[in-house]
Amino acid sequence: MNTSDCTDVCIESGGAGKTMRIYMAQAVDYFDRASLSYYHRNTLRQGQMVQDVTLTPGQCTQVSHTFTFAADSMAQEDDIVVIAGAQEALASGGADVYQAAQLAWPILGPDFSVAPERPGVGQTVQFTDLTVANGPVVESWTWDFGDGDTSTLQDPTHGFDAVGCYDVTLTVTSDVVMPRAITKGVPVSLAAPTAAFSHVPNEPDVGQSVQFTDLSTGDYDSRVWDFGDGDTSTAENPNHTYATNGEHDVTLTVTNGCDTDQTVVTIMVCETVPPVSYWTRSVTGTVELGQGIFFYEQATPDEVTYLWNFDDGTTSTARNVYKSFAASGSYDVSLTVNSGCLEDYYMETVDVCELPTAAFSSSPETPDAGEVVHFTDESTGGVVAWDWDFGDGHSSTLQNPTHAYGTGGTFTVALTVSEALGCTGDTTGTVEVVVVDPDIFADDFESGNTSSWSNAVP
């Protein structure tokens, strides 16, 4: 054997998916369990299992072309995959390694067709053998029609005398593998069932009895209800009570032995106490524009869904939300909680404002004591209220007030402004008030010397 010709071995499954055991043998293509046992008894390594391969129907499964023997026990499967090859001594820890030269797999897959597929009572039914045999030669066919009658023809005909589902079994034997059998149900004068049911009430409460009614059509003699909470029933129209709220998938399965159908309906079971919606926030009062806020749900019970509406075009289904607003204004923030059947709603207004900037000027800049000072508001940011503190115990709420200081000195003037939603801004400035000495003023006035007026003192 030329080991350079070795390639991956492709096993194509012709029947149901299964795990096949691969064995090594020399110079044979097919053999049965007896010859396999013979090789095993007379040779230390030939015939021992080397690898398990899972086969998929209709697909080619690649297996390595090099197998190292393991001391596993003999197979008990009837289908044997044989790789014929020659032994080659390789330095692999002293182990013998076989290279695969060719693959032979004895396939014996019984199958048959029925015509018509749904015969009537007394109607002649044609059974046609469709057995797949790759390697083995089929030697015999044995039919059991499930009504006490049998046949050994390859393609027999048969008629059934009564309504029912009959399990027809075909058993085939071959020259190299054990007998194989397949069973199919033949419905005689039976209409395929279609599962359907109704229930009342549509959304029951916890602890409330629910009436289930079987509305299935067709021919069937068995039904199983699965109520989705671990309980089942085989009654035609059972009653059932749920202990917990929430969604429950109710399944009804009907069968006549040959045909089975199933339908699933989701039932919402409601709690008897409605949920309560409420929320709090991390920033109380008026919120500054762009300021982040945590909104915390305070709903009961916990088994609810959440829908936040922030009144600015955004929503959220999270339990707790971190949020900031992009524009000033009043927002009606709401939280709706839903338990599946019942819901509750809570809303609170959140005022968001843009901080105003306070600014002002005064004239004259250095007034005399008793002289009227004009204060001019130069604030920005939607200001609607003003609070002036002139630093001498007097104040004003006018936008552009006037004030006269009775004494000289340095006075700190404070202005606080507010916008419509209550956000404020503030600033301060100083006013230097001077006092003129009356005696100096009189002497200079009489002599015409006014240069001394600069000697006025505060």
Q: Residue 172 has what pLDDT?
A: 94
Which residue in 366, 371, 429, 435 sits closest to 402, CA to CA?
371
pLDDT of 99 over the 50 cut: no
Average pLDDT rounded to a whole number, residues 48-62 = 44
Percent residues over pLDDT 70 in the chain = 71
Average pLDDT rounded to a whole number, residues 305-311 = 94
Q: Residue 369 has what pLDDT?
A: 94
Model confidence pLDDT, tens digit, residues 347-374: 999 999 989 999 999 999 999 999 999 9
Q: Residue 8 has what pLDDT?
A: 34
Look up the pTM and report it.
Answer: 0.52
Average pLDDT rounded to a whole number, residues 372-385 = 95
Q: How confident is the model at residue 196 (pLDDT cuts 50, 70, 90)?
A: very high
Q: Residue 449 has what pLDDT?
A: 53
Q: How far apart are CA 429 and CA 361, in angstroms?
A: 8
Q: For the domain 197-266, what is the CATH superfamily, name and number?
A: Immunoglobulins (2.60.40.10)
Q: How far apart are CA 415 and CA 194, in angstroms?
A: 83
Instruction: Tell the burial category of 257 from Cβ atoms under 10 Å away from its Cβ (0-12, 13-18, 19+).
Output: middle
Weakest-pLDDT range from 13-22, 404-413, 435-444: 13-22
Angle, vertex CA 421, rays to CA 420 and CA 427, nearest 5: 75
Q: Residue 176 has what pLDDT?
A: 65
> Longest C-alpha distance within the chain, in Å?
155
CATH of domain 360-433: 2.60.40.10
Q: For the domain 279-353, what is the CATH superfamily, name and number?
A: Immunoglobulins (2.60.40.10)
- Taking the domains of the chain in order of start, what are their residue ranges? 3-105, 108-188, 197-266, 279-353, 360-433
| Arithmetic mean of pLDDT over the chain | 77
Q: How far apart are CA 374 and CA 88, in angstroms?
A: 114
Q: How confident is the model at residue 258 (pLDDT cuts 50, 70, 90)?
A: very high
The residue among 441 and 267 whose pLDDT is bigger is: 267
pLDDT of 46 over the 60 cut: no
Model confidence pLDDT, tens digit, residues 222-256: 999 999 999 999 999 999 999 998 899 999 999 99
What topology is assigned to 108-188 in CATH? Immunoglobulin-like (2.60.40)
Non-local (6+) Cβ contacts of 87 within 8 A are: 26, 96, 98
Q: Cβ(384)–Cβ(358) under 8 Å?
A: no
Percent residues over pLDDT 90 in the chain = 57
Q: How confident is the model at residue 260 (pLDDT cuts 50, 70, 90)?
A: very high
Weakest-pLDDT range from 42-51, 196-205, 257-266, 275-284: 42-51
- CATH topology identical between 108-188 and 279-353: yes
Q: How far apart are CA 314 and CA 326, in angstroms?
A: 11
Weakest-pLDDT range from 183-197, 224-238, 331-345, 429-443: 429-443
Q: How far apart are CA 192 and CA 351, in angstroms?
A: 66
Residue 180 bridge partners (DSSP):
172
Which residue in 35, 42, 132 sits closest to 82, CA to CA?
35
